[in-house]
Amino acid sequence: MLNHQRIEHLRTLEKILNIYFDQLSLLSQALTHSSYTYEGNLPDKFSNERLEFLGDSILKFVITEYLYKQYPDQNEGDLAQRQAIMVSDATLAQKALEISLGNYLLLGKGEQKNLGATNESNLANALEALFGAFYLDQGMDATRAFILNILHTVLSKNFSEEDLKDHKTRLQEYTQSQGLGLPEYQLLKEAGPDHAKKFTVKTILLTHKKELIGIGMGSSKKSAESAAAQDLLQKLGKDIK
């Protein structure tokens, strides 16, 4: 059962988002981090991980459907890269910050100490879980409208051809244009519990004069590799937005 204070807190969030839940417990669950259920000795099913799983799939479907209709002349590769930008942890975390979603997260004490309410992965996951919860409560049409409203500034952005290339692709294109070898990626570190893994990756590039290294961190190997590639591009003077 939700206590009065939690109910009032969640109703405030509803007003900010201009949405309404019939089952407020779903909204609360969407904002319950697994560290909270773990420390409270609660079953895993009460955390937001299952809702995040559902919300991730719904988000990708909604964005894919939108892009398919909005850009009828673009090929699969360009559509996929647009989608990747729009559903990335960085994009979702930024949107979560804009609506102060971290203020409503239930976190374990350890996660609170680690500033979990501002953690990119936690925020992105909570927003996906929110989408999943809203779908279960209000259905697909309402959820589609909610997602498109949350992401409207990203959806309306005009991406250049360069924007649509991921950092690894840009780095590879640059090294090839300079007659250099392909960059090598190495996993340096994998830390944290299963629900909040952190990966650190190093990318190495042998130039004509020396060895250059880029370091990146992320919630997945792929995102860490991308961050490492971006770091190296910046060191090469190819600053990426």
Active-site positions read 56, 128
Q: Is 22 left (phi over 0), alpha (psi -120 to 50) or beta?
A: alpha
Classified as helix, coil or strand, 202 is strand
Rounded Cα gap, residues 197 and 133, in angstroms: 23
Contacts by residues 185-194 (CB-CB < 8 Å, ≥ 24 positions apart)? 185/225, 185/228, 187/221, 187/224, 188/215, 193/34
Closest CA to 168 of 212, 92, 227: 227
**How far is Cα 28 from Cα 2, in angstroms, rounded to an integer?**
8
Structure tokens belonging to residue 206: 């042998």
